[in-house]
Amino acid sequence: MTQPRLVLGLALLLVVALSPPGRTQTAAGEKTVRGLDVDDRTIFALQVDEKKGELVDRTDRFKPVVSGGKVVEDDYLGQCLRFGDGDKNGVSVSDGGKIAFEGGFTLEVWLYLEEQGRPNPGGTLAGKIRSFWFTIKDYKLDNAWMVFPTEEVFTTNDKQIKHFPVDSESFYGAMSIPADRWVHLAVTYDQEMKVIRTWVDGGLDRTRYMVREGDAPLQSDPTRGIDFVRGMKNVRLGGLRLSRGARPIGPAPIMEAQVHQLPHEDKVAVCINHIA
C-alpha cells in the first residue's frame, strides 16, 4: 500500500541586520550611539558624554558607577569605555526602587570583544540578583536564569522541590558573536505572549516560549542593582539601554512549527507552537 506523503513548505526568514554601529545626532544636537534613543519606555540609556568624558544616563535618573574602565577614542562611536585585563571590571547601576519591568523588558548592549591574539574569555554581560543573569561564553549569548513568580509547595521528602514551577527559563545561545568589531546584543521578554528572545546584530538567536499558568512578570528586587560586563576583560562598551516591554529588535517568525514522528501509527504530526 502506498504510504501517505507529507510535504512541508519551507518558509524563508529574512534576517535584516542592524546598521553598522556608529554615531548619530539628536534634534538638540547631542551626539549619541545609533539606535540608543530615549523614549517613554526607556528605563535608562548609558553612553559616554563627550563633553564630560564619562559614562552618563541620558534619562538623568541613574548614576552609573564604572570600575576598571576608561574613556577612549573610537573610530565608529567617537568615544566609548574600554576595559582591559583587570579583575574588577564592570558598570553598576543601583535600583533605588526605580526599576520595574511592566509588560516585559528589553536589554540592549553595544559591545566590542577584543581577541588580541587569543580567544576572549567572555563573562557576565548583565546581571541583577533575583531578576536575571546573562553571560557570554565561547562567543555565545547565554541566558543563565530569569526569575518569575513561583508557588511554595510541600512534599514528603526534604530533598524534593520547594517551589513550582522549578525551571528558571535558562538556555544557551546558538549564534556566534563576532569578535574585533562592534556588535549589538539584545534580550527581550514579552510578558503578554510569555516569550523570551535573544538577538545578535538584529538577527534572532534563540526563542523560549514559557509554559506557565497565569501572569508571569519578570521579578525585580529594589535592593539589588544591575551589573554590566562584570569581570569581562578586553572589551569596549559603546552603550546600554534598558526598557520596559519587548522592543522590536528584528524580524521574528509569524509562526513556528515542530514535526513529530509517530512511529507506532506510521504518521507524522505537525504542531504549530505560536502565532504572533
pLDDT value of residue 13? 36
- Which one, of 109, 89, 176, 111, lies nearest residue 138 by Cα? 176
- Which tens digits make up the pLDDT trace of 121-167? 999 999 999 999 999 999 999 999 999 876 666 667 776 665 555 56
Cα distances (angstroms) measured from residue 231 to each of 39, 94, 116, 122, 235: 30, 18, 17, 8, 10
Alpha-carbon gap, residue 263 to 266, rounded angstroms: 5
Alpha-carbon gap, residue 158 to 156, rounded angstroms: 7
pTM: 0.82
- Which tens digits make up the pLDDT trace of 74-129? 998 899 999 999 999 999 999 999 999 989 999 999 999 999 889 999 999 999 99
Q: Does domain 36-256 have CATH number 2.60.120.200?
A: yes
Buried b (16+ CB within 10 A) or exposed e, 190-220: bbeebbbbbbbbbbbbbbbebeeeeebebbb
Domain ranges of the chain: 36-256
Q: What is the mean pLDDT of the chain?
A: 84
Alpha-carbon gap, residue 131 to 142, rounded angstroms: 15
